[in-house]
Amino acid sequence: MPTDYISIKALVDDGQYEALAEYITNLDVDISKIDSISFTGNAIIDVILNDKMAKANKQDITINMSVGFNDAWGIQAYDIGIIISNLLDNAIKAVQDYDGVDKIITFSILSKSPVIIICCENPYSDENKNQPETQLWHGLGLKNIESIANRYNGTMRVEGKNGRFMNTVMLKAHF
């Protein structure tokens, strides 16, 4: 769970509503600094995508994006948001550590009825491939993604070869 959500939940649980209002106001300021592009028309997903694009741009990383989202899929925007956030955070981190020149992440969300396919591909440094596979690919974020995939009768596939890392998540739509 991202830090902002944990902080908000803690403030709500403690009944600190004035502190919560101030925290959200500060988040609003940070969000307003992001160049806002509508990728999907869903405000939650678009904020996440814009934030990840801004983070990547600060690191001179390009994200080639082809995304769509349809509320009619019956998949919660919150769940898609967790998937997007974790996939792109992992990809940005891997590309930051990558010493090659092709610092490009390819990210897509598409619907091929009855499934939604979310794919994230990026280069990674050969130095990282000496880490145990579980350390490299199976962090808490990927466990969250896998849990969401299972909830939607889907799958998550992780593979790395030829210096490229690809994570594909398939979710069954609930039309």
Residue 175 in this model has a pLDDT that exceeds 70 = no
Q: What CA–CA distance (Å, rounded) separates 74 from 88?
A: 23
Q: What percent of the chain has pLDDT over 70?
A: 79
Contact, 125 vs 99, CB < 8 A?
yes
Q: What CA–CA distance (Å, rounded) separates 105 from 160?
A: 14
Q: How confident is the model at residue 161 (pLDDT cuts 50, 70, 90)?
A: confident
Contact, 75 vs 148, CB < 8 A?
no
pLDDT one-digit tens code per residue, 81-139:
999 999 999 999 999 988 888 899 999 999 888 899 999 999 988 665 545 444 444 46
Cα 15 from chain centroid (whole Å) = 30
Could you tell me the two tokens for 97?
A: 């550590």
Q: Please provide residue 30's backbone torsions phi and psi, each rounded to the nearest 5 degrees.
A: -60, -45
Q: What single DSSP character describes residue 101? A: S
Average the pLDDT over each of 14-18, 34-38, 41-45 and give the range with the smallest value: 34-38
Residue 38 in this model has a pLDDT that exceeds 90 = no
Mean pLDDT rounded to a whole number for the chain: 82
